[in-house]
Amino acid sequence: MTSVKAARRVVVKVGSSLVTDEGRGVDAQAIGDWCRQLALLVSQGCEVVMVSSGAIAEGMKRLGWATRPKELHELQAAAAVGQMGLAQIYESKLKEQGLGSAQVLLTHADLADRERYLNARSTLLTLLGHRVIPVINENDTVVNDEIKFGDNDTLGALVANLVDADLLVILTDQQGLYSADPRRDPNAQFIHQATAGDPALERMAGGAGSSIGRGGMITKVLAAKRAAGSGASTVIAWGREPNVLPRLLAGESIGTALVASAPKFSARQQWMADQLQLPGTVVVDDGAVDKLKNEGKSLLPIGVVEVHGDFHRGDVIAVKSSAGEEIARGLANYASGEVRLIARKPSSEFERLLGFVAEPEMIHRDNMVLSLPSVVSGLKCRLIAPTSSPLARRDEES
What's residue 213's pLDDT?
A: 42
What's residue 211's pLDDT?
A: 37
CA distance 33 to 44: 17
Average pLDDT of every residue of the chain: 86
What's residue 169's pLDDT?
A: 97
pTM: 0.77
255 plus 311 within the same structural domain: no
133 plus 193 within the same structural domain: yes
Domain assignment of residue 393, yes or no: no
Query: For a pLDDT cut of 90, what percent of the chain falls above it?
Result: 58
174 plus 30 within the same structural domain: yes
pLDDT category, 386, cuts 50, 70, 90? very low
62 plus 92 within the same structural domain: yes
Domain assignment of residue 111, yes or no: yes
Residue 262: is its pLDDT beyond 70?
no
Average the pLDDT over each of 110-124, 186-200, 243-257, 369-383 and give the range with the smallest value: 369-383
pLDDT category, 384, cuts 50, 70, 90? very low
Domain assignment of residue 206, yes or no: yes
List pLDDT tens digits, range 221-235: 999 999 998 889 999
What's residue 58's pLDDT?
A: 86
Number of domains in the chain: 2
Domain assignment of residue 267, yes or no: no
φ, ψ for residue 33, nearest 5 deg: -70, -40
For the residues of 74-119, what is the DSSP string, one character each?
HHHHHHHHHHHHHHHHHHHHHHHTT-EEEEEEE-HHHHHSHHHHHH
List pLDDT tens digits, range 304-362: 999 999 999 989 999 999 999 999 999 999 999 999 999 999 999 999 999 988 889 99
What's residue 206's pLDDT?
A: 65
Determine the structural domain holding residue 123 and report its residue range: 2-262+378-384
Residue 252: is its pLDDT beyond 70?
yes
CA-based nearest residue to 261, from 383, 382, 380: 380
Cβ contacts of residue 254 below 8 Å, gap of 6+? 235, 237, 238, 241, 244, 247, 248
235 plus 304 within the same structural domain: no
109 plus 250 within the same structural domain: yes
Higher per-residue pLDDT: 7 or 209 = 7
295 plus 223 within the same structural domain: no
Domain assignment of residue 98, yes or no: yes
What's residue 57's pLDDT?
A: 83
199 plus 341 within the same structural domain: no
178 plus 53 within the same structural domain: yes
What's residue 25's pLDDT?
A: 74
CA distance 39 to 149: 28
- In degrees, rounded to 5, the angle at the alpha carbon of residue 237 between the alpha carbons of residues 276 and 39 is 95
CA distance 96 to 110: 31
pLDDT category, 214, cuts 50, 70, 90? very low
User: Cα torsion for 205, 210, 215, 216, to the nearest 10°?
Assistant: -10
List pLDDT tens digits, range 145-186: 655 776 789 999 999 999 999 999 999 988 999 988 877 888
What's residue 315's pLDDT?
A: 92
Domain CATH number, residue 103: 3.40.1160.10
Please compute the mean of the pLDDT values over residues 25-30 and round it to a whole number.
Answer: 88
Other Cβ atoms closer than 10 A to 47: 22
Domain CATH number, residue 354: 2.30.130.10
236 plus 366 within the same structural domain: no
Higher per-residue pLDDT: 372 or 38 = 38
List pLDDT tens digits, range 271-306: 898 888 899 999 999 999 999 999 989 999 999 999
What's residue 6's pLDDT?
A: 82
What's residue 109's pLDDT?
A: 84
> How far are the Cα atoms of 114, 200, 393 from residue 396, in angstroms, in the given order?
32, 21, 9
Burial status of residue 130 (CB atoms within 10 A of its CB: 0-12, 13-18, 19 or more): exposed
241 plus 303 within the same structural domain: no
> How far are the Cα atoms of 103, 137, 191, 235 from residue 175, in angstroms, in the given order?
29, 23, 10, 11
Detail the DSSP E strand segments found in 285-354. Answer: 304-309, 316-320, 326-331
CA 61 to chain centre: 27
Domain assignment of residue 390, yes or no: no
pLDDT category, 5, cuts 50, 70, 90? confident
Please compute the mean of the pLDDT values over residues 119-130 and round it to a whole number.
Answer: 93
Residue 188: is its pLDDT beyond 50?
yes
CA-based nearest residue to 372, from 157, 197, 166, 161: 197
List pLDDT tens digits, range 78-117: 989 999 989 999 999 999 999 999 999 998 888 888 889 9
154 plus 249 within the same structural domain: yes
Domain assignment of residue 396, yes or no: no
Q: What's the Rg (C-alpha) of the chain?
A: 22
Cβ contacts of residue 348 below 8 Å, gap of 6+? none
Domain assignment of residue 208, yes or no: yes
Residue 2: is its pLDDT beyond 70?
no
